[in-house]
Amino acid sequence: MEGLLYIAAVLAAALGTAHSVLGERYILTRLFRRNDLPKLFGGSEFTTRTLRFAWHITTIGWYGFAALLVHAGRGDLTVSGMLQILGLTFVASGFLPLLLTRGKHLSWLVLFVIGGIALWCAA
């Protein structure tokens, strides 16, 4: 059973990587060449940055799922360990909107709070 969980973890991480790499190459870059993107906060830059972080946040989530699967496969997944993984996943997710939208998309704040709560409760 643990071997299957390891396979699932590798597949989840590979899926996340493929999603980001292929999506960036074949979807996002082509989408951003369009001239009719919504202009939010005075231009289309906020729109492209928001779409980019929203796309790549999925990958961070799948990496977090992969970490949970690895720990489940090892048989050492505790509530504290799960909360640590979830907390780190949410904090890592928060960096995308913070950096890519330069803090204009306030989801980073909520993601950091969720991650902080999970990490606090894991201790």
For 15-45, write each residue's pLDDT tens digit. Answer: 999 999 999 999 999 999 998 889 888 889 9
For 67-106, write each residue's pLDDT tens digit. Answer: 999 999 999 999 999 999 999 999 999 999 999 999 999 9
Tracing tokens 């779409």 back to the chain, one arrives at 51
Which residue range forms the structural domain that includes residue 59?
2-122
Say whether pTM exceeds 0.75: yes
CB-CB contact of 84 with 122 (8 Å): yes
CB-CB contact of 108 with 98 (8 Å): yes
For 37-64, write each residue's pLDDT tens digit. Answer: 898 888 899 999 999 999 999 999 999 9
Domain count, the chain: 1
